[in-house]
Structure 1
C-alpha cells in the first residue's frame, strides 16, 4: 500500500493550479481596488469643482449643502449637479430646493 502526501511544495499539478488561481485572484482584486479608488477620486474632484464653481459665481454654499456635495460618490448625480451649478442662484437649488424671497 502506498501513501500519498499532499505537502505544499511538492509541485503537483493540483498545487500549481491552486497557486496560479490564487495569484490571478489577487491581481484581479488589486485591479478592482485600483478602479474603485480611481472612481472615488473622480467623484471627489467633481464634487470639489461644483463647490468651486458655485463660489466663483458668488453663490453662497451652505455648510449642509457643501457636505452633501462632497460626500456624494455617484458620478451621474454629480454631473447633474454640475449642470445646475452653472445656473442656480442658491446652493439648495442643486437639490430641487426652492427659496421663497422674504418680504
Structure 2
C-alpha cells in the first residue's frame, strides 16, 4: 500500500512544515513504542526512567539503534551503553 503524501502548493510552507513535524513525531513515537514492546516481549523489566527516556527521544536514528539493540540486550539500561545515543 502506498503512503499518503500530501501535495503542498509551495516548498517550505507553514502547512508543509507542520505536517512534516507531526509526521516525524508520530514516526518517532512508533519507534519508541516498538523498542519498549520488544523489551517487554523478551521479559526484560523496563524502569520508569528508561521508559521515559525512550519515549522522550525524537531522534529516529537513535531510536532505530535502540530497536536493533533491544533484540539482544539483557537489561533495558544496556540500550544506552556507549554508543547508545541520547
| TM-score using structure 2 length | 0.80
Give, in whole Å, the separation in 2 of the partners of 1:57 and 1:94: 14
RMSD after superposition: 1.9
Aligned to 1:8: none
* Structure ranking higher on relative contact order (CA contacts 8 Å, 6+ apart): 2
Aligned to 1:82: 67
1:1-103 equivalences in 2 (<5 Å): 28-96=13-81
Please list every run of 5 or more consecutive structure 2 residues that lacks an aligned counterpart in the other structure: 1-8
Cα deviations across residues 64-87 of structure 1 (Å, max 9, x unaligned)?
A: 000000000000000100011000
Please list every run of 5 or more consecutive structure 1 residues that lacks an aligned counterpart in the other structure: 1-22, 98-103
Q: Count the aligned residue pairs.
A: 74
**Moved runs in structure 1, 4+ residues, more than 6 A?**
none
